[in-house]
A and B are shown apart, each in its own frame.
Chain A
Amino acid sequence: MASPSPQQPSLLLPEAPKRRRLLEILGAASIIVTYVVLVLTQPTDIAAGPGSLAALAALGGFLLGAVLLVVAVLPTLPTSTVVLIPIAMVLNIVLGQFVGSTLVPFYLDAIGTVLVAVLAGPAAGAATGALSSIVWSLFNPTVLPFAAGAALIGWLAGLAARAGVFRRFYLVPFAGFLSGVLGGVVSAPIAAFVFGGTSGLATGAIVSAFRAMGDSLLAAITKQALISDPADKAIVFTVAALLVYALPRRSSFQFPFVRRYRVLAGRAPQGRGTATQA
């Protein structure tokens, strides 16, 4: 259709950038292998002090995985997604910092991540989760090791959006709940092995209760995560869904992911009613 003159054929966009599959796989593998190794080799006797090797493995493996994912995904995203990520990060950090300072056993630090995942897909969601942990760690270094868990939440939210969960509002909290289960299970070893506990008094009290019943530290923290995380992510997914529904349709439909996978109910923009009234 285009007939560019021979000397300047570069006015048109070249092919879309290749996905860096290898880096993506390496990143995901690093996270999975680390988790498996940690659970299999967890120190049986922690009486001698927090295991140092487990801490090193958790810190290194999860962080490496998160950074590899970011490096793999970021260059392949369209610019409209890249500019959305900082906004999501600010949302995560501001809300997370605020909620973390209260005595609520929730975090609410993934609303931005889920927002990006719904608008731009699993890869973008994963990158947002990991990146916001990295930037937040400039103010609070203890969140850095959780980058992999945050990436997982973004990825799962993107999968849920692709599957059409966000077309039906009542399905959203369930998707959040399930993502929370997985996310909690992945994050628990970090809390257990890197920090020897959770960072808040409210979550600490729950861990104490399980410890009093004789659970191992990892089991106690995993059970605490299974109490806090699913509820937390159900809230986060719901709030993110409400934000997406409130966006002008022209804004949300500019994202190819939303159009291609029919992420939102209703046909196309300009329809004023249905989803925007939710």
Chain B
Amino acid sequence: MSARPLLAAHVASFRFHGADAPVLRDISIAVDAGSLTAVLGGSGSGKSTLARILAAWLPGHHGGELRGRLELGASGAGACIDFTGGSDDPRIDPAAWAAHVAYVPQDAAAMLSTVRDTVAGELAFGLENLGIPAGDMLRRIAGTAELTGLQDLLERDPATLSGGELRRLAIGCAVIGRPSVLLLDEPFASLDASGARTVELLLRRLTAEGTAVVVFSSTVDTLSRTATHWTVLGNTVLGNTALGSGEHDGGRQLAAGTPDILLAAGSSGEDVLARSGVVVPGAEVSGAGVSGAAPPRPVRTSAPADAAPVLELKGVRFSYDGPGASERETLRGVDLAVLPGEVLAVTGPNGSGKSTLLRQLNGLLRPGSGTVLLRGAPTDGTSPGVLAADVGLLFQDPRFQLFERTALREVAFGLGTKWRLFRRKQDDARARERALAALAAVGLEAHAGIHPLELPASSRRLLALATVIAREPAVLALDEPTVGLDRRGLAVLDTAMADATARGAAVVMVTHDLGYARARAHRLLRLDGGVLTPLG
């Protein structure tokens, strides 16, 4: 036997407090120094839960009962801890564990202390808590900043960082304690191409220096494609009808091996990746395999109707208030006409104003000059709440779109009638019916009573989508709709767009996923420097 693995775990089962069924069953994983491991699984496969168990963020602490074993072979810290699920289970010291096994959650901002006003101060937070002298601290901050490429940002306020910078800072906070294993949950989620590239380079550098890196992902991205080992988790979920029988394979280890073997197996029949809902770029996404039902209709049903445009922007200019606003005008004369049934995609670099553009459509932001016309009528006098009947906006971050306490109430919010303090019963019934239909359309009908914040990230996005399609708007404005969706989620999105265009609605989506945009949209535009230009 060669050296012990740096980290080995066997999860016999893990169950949240009071839950009926375990979310993870029978999973074994082991990682060696300098290796790159990918744990792949669709929405609801429990990969985030697994990551948190390995990071000692869950067991014996908050929220759950673990049966299994964690084994640490890291230099000088050999330990083997058994859990039986009882209340007398050992409690791991999270800080001591993090010195060997560090974890970066999917929401990188949650990693930050929020009490430091500079990047350097944030990096120092963990070191200060360990009582490391100021001189050593400065040296380690400099070293980590060099590794993560944060040298020029050390004096910036963490609240002003871009997505890619924020994630690199979160990774920096995790590795400044020099752990031997680094776990990352969806490290590329909601990053643009250049942000993703910098994070990928950083992770490759860490493995080259001997850190074992484990990524948990629902997509086979370029990083996980080069992993030394894959573990594929089964998909519970949540309206997954694929398996037919009552038996689901959620949270179970479907397969493990090298990427080549698993990909080859996929093309020769037993496609565990498809069964788990993992997105494999290049493979046909909206195929069967996931939803046993008929494949969704193509999104581009036909050429858009030769009718008057449903939505028009004429010379729209916009700048945010603040010092120097006129020089930093976000939109500098945008002209656009969208026909009924048309699918339009807008790309552009981060911060180019794509989300700003979408907010012009439903009146959440108003143009400084120029007009927005809906079915030929200018929208400037109409409040966003009224425009909402015609323009449905899917926000980039579903956390800011969801606010109710059950999925059903979420979708039913504002449906049907004007908001009043007390609503009439029959209005409620009608709204409930429509809301249930929309939930069914995204495959969440079985989870109408669940709290939106308790849904897995991918399902949360689908719930946000349901809130938009529930009112059948004439224009769907989708901000980065594909981010974080697994295979089934992408299929649902396709169906939703196809249904919308089939009834004559227009779709305007903003995305950084060029391949997706090319495959789905009639027209592709690029927003850069405040103006729209056609793109190939």
Chain A contacts to B: CB under 8 angstroms: 1-5, 7-8, 10-14, 80, 246, 248-251, 253-254, 259, 267-273, 276
Contact = CB atoms under 8 A, between A and B. Distances in A.
- The majority secondary structure among interface residues of chain B is loop
A2 B81 contact: yes
Given A254-B63, A276-B405, A270 B92 contact: no
Interface stretch (B13-21, B350-358, B489-497, B512-520): B13-21
A12 B91 contact: yes
25 contacts: A1-B83, A1-B89, A1-B90, A2-B80, A2-B90, A3-B79, A4-B79, A10-B93, A10-B96, A11-B72, A11-B92, A11-B93, A80-B62, A248-B453, A249-B18, A253-B63, A254-B62, A268-B17, A268-B18, A269-B18, A270-B20, A271-B18, A272-B406, A276-B405, A276-B406
Nearest 8 A/B pairs, CB to CB: A268-B18, A248-B451, A272-B449, A2-B90, A13-B91, A4-B79, A5-B78, A269-B18
Interface of B: 16-20, 62-63, 72, 76-84, 88-93, 96-97, 405-406, 449-451, 453-454
Nearest to B93: A13
A1 B83 CA distance: 8
Given A248-B451, A248-B453, A269-B19, A1 B84 contact: yes
A250 B96 contact: no
Nearest to A272: B449
Nearest to A251: B453
B18 A13 contact: no
B405 A246 contact: yes
Contacts of B72: 11
A1 B82 contact: yes
Given A267-B18, A269-B19, A14 B76 contact: no
A143 B526 CA distance: 55
Given A2-B90, A14-B93, A272-B449, A253 B18 contact: yes
Q: Which of A14, A268, A269 has the most CB of B within 10 A?
A: A269
A254 B63 CA distance: 6
Nearest to B82: A1
B94 to A, nearest CB: 8
B406 to A, nearest CB: 7
B129 to A, nearest CB: 11
A11 B453 contact: no
Contact of A8 (B63, B76, B405): B76
Given A254-B63, A269-B16, A11 B77 contact: yes
Q: Which of B20, B90, B97 has the most CB of A within 10 A?
A: B90
A80 B94 CA distance: 13
Contacts of B97: 11
Nearest to B97: A11
B81 A11 contact: yes
A2 to B, nearest CB: 4
Contacts of A267: 18
A178 B63 CA distance: 34
A269 B17 contact: yes
Q: Which of B18, B63, B93, B453 has the most CB of A within 10 A?
A: B18
Contacts, number: 87
Q: Which of B16, B79, B88, B449 has the most CB of A within 10 A?
A: B79
A1 to B, nearest CB: 5
A13 B91 CA distance: 6
Nearest to B78: A5
Nearest to A255: B62
Nearest to B18: A268
Contacts of B91: 12-13
Given A80-B62, A254-B63, A3 B80 contact: yes
Contacts of B19: 269-270
Contact of A272 (B93, B96, B450): B450
B95 to A, nearest CB: 9
B188 to A, nearest CB: 27
A160 B76 CA distance: 49
Nearest to B83: A1
A273 B84 CA distance: 31
Given A4-B81, A8-B77, A8-B78, A13 B92 contact: yes
B93 A250 contact: no
A270 B450 CA distance: 8
A246 B452 CA distance: 12
A250 B63 contact: yes
Contacts of A3: 79-82
A253 B91 CA distance: 18
B92 A12 contact: yes
B395 to A, nearest CB: 20
Contacts of B63: 250, 253-254
A8 B20 CA distance: 37
Contact of B76 (A2, A7, A80): A7
A270 B18 contact: yes
Contacts of B20: 270
Q: Which of A10, A12, A14, A271 has the most CB of B within 10 A?
A: A12
Nearest to A14: B93
Given A248-B454, A250-B63, A12 B18 contact: no
Contacts of A271: 18
Contacts of B18: 249, 253, 267-271
A250 B92 contact: no
A13 B78 CA distance: 16
A276 B454 CA distance: 13
Nearest to B79: A4
Contacts of B454: 248, 250
B101 to A, nearest CB: 10
Q: Which of A2, A5, A268 has the most CB of B within 10 A?
A: A2
A270 B90 CA distance: 25
Nearest to B56: A11
B79 A2 contact: yes
Given A248-B451, A250-B454, A12 B16 contact: no
B465 to A, nearest CB: 21
Contacts of B17: 250, 253, 259, 268-269
B124 to A, nearest CB: 19
Contacts of A253: 17-18, 63
A258 to B, nearest CB: 11
Nearest to A267: B18
Contact of B16 (A246, A259, A270): A270
A2 B83 CA distance: 8
A147 B37 CA distance: 53
Contacts of B449: 272-273
Q: Which of A250, A253, A259 has the most CB of B within 10 A?
A: A250
Contacts of A250: 16-17, 63, 451, 454
